[in-house]
Amino acid sequence: MIKAAGLSKVVPNGPSQLLILHEIDLAVMAGEAVAIVGASGSGKSTLLGLLAGLDTPSAGSVQLDGVELFALGEDGRAALRAQLLGFVFQSFQLLPALNALENVMLPLELAGARDAARRAAAMLERVGLGERLAHYPKYLSGGEQQRVALARAFVIEPKLLLADEPTGNLDADTGAAIIDLMFALNAAAGTTLVLVTHDDAIARRCQRQIRLAGGRIVA
């Protein structure tokens, strides 16, 4: 599903260069759940951004579902994301002007789906928010916001789900509930999962862990 080779990211840091990722090689099979773990600043989120084609590498390549990601332009990568990817973010990234239902409808609407409202409502029902469709993000708790984000990620039935510290902004109990929900949805849909976390307990629920330190894979 994912094949990365020699992936490096260097950013200017004043007069010098800062190495964030150094020649990362990794492969993720379809249906596999992989955790990327490491301390803060180890390059986890940067790696995730590169795997999603949100950022461009200084060197190396990424293949997503057999397509060479960085041979595509910005819009080409966006089109590929629309086809393959679902996202869950640490800071939820719900649009404040849209209610729960509309937030979930948004990726469907952008893809031109005609039954967006019905599908989004059904998905919110599945994550336990069937009664809160018309609520705006600011009136939802952190856990509820992340459930909406999960519904938004799964509603387009992605082949690959990328999750960036999905429990980072939640307390332990809520975080655990969200992780349970995410794995349940993942198992039901047979989605490939790449999960960035610094929590080893969550990482252990994945089939495989890739550990980053100083921008390199150490385990």
Note the residues at the interface with another protein (CB under 8 A): 45, 48-49, 52, 54-55, 74-75, 78-83, 85, 87, 89, 91, 93, 95-98, 101-102, 105-107, 109-111, 114, 116-118, 120-121, 130-134, 136-138, 156, 164, 169
Show contacts of 187-192: CB within 8 Å, 24+ apart.
189/154, 189/157, 190/31, 191/31, 191/86, 191/154, 191/158, 191/159, 191/160, 191/161, 192/1, 192/2, 192/28, 192/29, 192/30, 192/31, 192/32, 192/33, 192/159, 192/160, 192/161
Question: Could you say which DSSP state residue 196 is in?
Answer: E
Residue 87 and residue 162: Cα distance in Å, rounded?
A: 5
> In the bound complex, what is the minimum distance in angstroms from residue 92's beta carbon to another protein?
8
The 3-state DSSP class for residue 37 equals strand
Task: Specify the residue, 129 or 210, whose C-beta has the smaller distance to another protein.
Answer: 129
Q: Please state, in angstroms and rounded to a whole number, the distance separating the CA atoms of residues 58 and 205.
A: 32
**Which residue number, 37 or 180, has a Cβ lying nearer to another protein?**
37
| Residue 119: count of CB within 10 angstroms of its CB | 17
Task: Kindly tell me which of 86 and 186 has the beta carbon lying closer to another protein.
Answer: 86
Q: Which is nearer to another protein, 79 or 184 (CB)?
A: 79
**Nearest distance from C-beta of residue 207 to another protein, angstroms:** 24
- Look up tokens 């849909």; give the residue: 189
Shorter beta-carbon distance to another protein: residue 12 or 138: 138
Least distance CB 113 / another protein (angstroms): 11
* Residue 37 near residue 198, CB atoms below 8 Å: yes
Residue 156: Cβ within 10 Å count: 19
How near is the Cβ of 199 to another protein at its closest, in Å?
18
Closer Cβ to another protein, 40 or 219, answer by number: 40
Give min distance, CB of 37 to another protein, in A.
Answer: 17
**Closest separation in Å from C-beta 139 to another protein:** 8
